[in-house]
Amino acid sequence: MPTTRFANEYELQKLIQRCHNILWERHGFDPAQAFDEFSKLLFVRLYDEITLAGSRTTIHRRESPEEVAARIRGLYDQANETPGFDRIFMGEAIRADDLAVNEVIRLLQNYSLLETTSQVEGADVKGTIYENIIGNTFRGELGQFFTHRSIVEFMVRLVGIDERTVVYDPSCGSGGFLIMCAKIIREQIRQAQPGLSFEAADERLKAYSRRGLIGTEINERTARVARLNLLMHGLDYSNIFTVNALKTDESDDPQLHALLDESSVDVVFANPPFAGYEKDPSVLSRFELGQNGQGSVAAVTREVLFLERIIRVLRDGGAAAIVIPQGIFTNRNLARVRDYIKQADSF
């Protein structure tokens, strides 16, 4: 049974790099494929730790790679059918071969992921993997850019949240803002009730995440990362939705609509995409800033529409902390956007 914790993020990164290299060398996977396969094996390991203390992902003496891999694949299928784990990979098969599965599990079995997420202070484990192992090629390929953790912490602490705060990130990426919110709520719980057991504090935090942490993400792979990230931190990930935040009204998911009606959120943290212009009339027509003031749609940069969407979803008195281009405040052509922001009492 594993008892070893990662001493720091560097040790964690080294192990992840070794696992990534195994998958690349065995299969020639591109970074995105290698990341997906590693995520599946990490998921199995985490599931085993949560449900049976890691005993089923521990390799026994004289056990062949084929026997290990068969057990891991069976455990993976079981996890995908278990409530609380069943909305991450949703039955997508493990593509790595038996030898690669065996070698990665052999590395992972020496460490406790659960202990690490509580002991490596502030570590966004999946975000670390995403940012440091997948690298610029993968991020550029999918247009994914991640907010530095120090900026995330500054924004969350500046706005201020507590256990009553409903938080939304419309472009949640790997879940960094949501993880930071959970970290700060955990601090508050421990400070308010220093005698509370770790188990009780964790359950209280998980209950908060179930009702108070909401994220949308347009890319399925990235949304999966966010869900797994929350799971690794002992949080509920059921409010992470794979959907374009500008088109949530098209979703047929009643849970999404119940959570993200207009004026339903206390705080928004966001680093929305700055990639190009939105030209789709069906999207532009949903927004005041997507029209020219005379009833005709007009192409605008996507962050402009995100600003309107954020303002509309906030309750009266709500607050938002957003990373936006300087041009929003300086470009003379965006005066109408600035006027819209000024008119929003809750912003």
pLDDT of residue 345: 59
Q: What pLDDT shows up at residue 140?
A: 47
First to last CA, the chain: 50
Placement of tokens 């605008």 in the chain: 300
Domain ranges for the chain, please list them: 9-119, 145-343
Pick from 178, 181, 312, 148: which is nearest to 245 by CA? 312
| 71-92 residue pLDDT tens | 999 999 999 999 989 889 987 8
Distance, CA of 19 to CA of 10 (rounded, Å): 14
Non-local (6+) Cβ contacts of 193 within 8 A are: 201
Q: Reply yes or no on whether the pLDDT at 2 is more than 50.
A: no
Q: What is the DSSP string of 225-289?
A: HHHHHHHHTT---TTEEES-GGGGGG---HHHHHHSSTT-EEEEEE-----SEE--HHHHTT-GG
What residue spans of the chain are helical by DSSP H? 9-27, 31-52, 65-79, 98-108, 113-119, 125-129, 135-142, 149-159, 176-192, 198-212, 220-232, 254-259, 281-284, 302-313, 327-330, 335-343
In the prediction, which pLDDT does 232 show? 80
pLDDT at 160 over 90: yes
| Confidence grade of residue 125 (pLDDT, cut at 50, 70, 90) | low
Lookup result for tokens 């359950």:
203
Side chain identity, residue 308: E
- Across residues 154-168, what is the average pLDDT? 97
Q: What is the pLDDT of residues 103-123, one digit of tens each?
A: 999 998 888 877 666 555 444
Look up residue 300 and give its two tokens.
Answer: 């605008």
Dist CA 193 CA 205 (whole Å) = 13
Tell me which of 196 and 132 has the higher pLDDT: 196
Residue 137: CB atoms within 10 A of its CB come to 11
Q: Retrieve residue 262's tokens.
A: 């207009």
Homologous superfamily in CATH for domain 145-343: Vaccinia Virus protein VP39 (3.40.50.150)
CA distance 224 to 240: 9
Task: Determine the pLDDT at residue 347.
Answer: 47
pTM comes to 0.86
Residue with tokens 């992972």: 108
pLDDT(5) > 70: no
User: Which residues touch 218 (CB under 8 Å, ≥6 apart)?
Assistant: 171, 242, 243, 244, 245
pLDDT above 50 (res 138) = no
Tell me the pLDDT band of 129, cut-offs 50, 70 and 90.
low
In this prediction, residue 191 has a pLDDT band, given cuts at 50, 70 and 90, of: very high
Read off the pLDDT of each residue in 14-33 and give the average, rounded to a whole number. Answer: 85
Q: What is the mean pLDDT of residues 138-150?
A: 60
Report the largest interatomic distance among the alpha carbons of the chain, rounded to a whole angstrom: 75
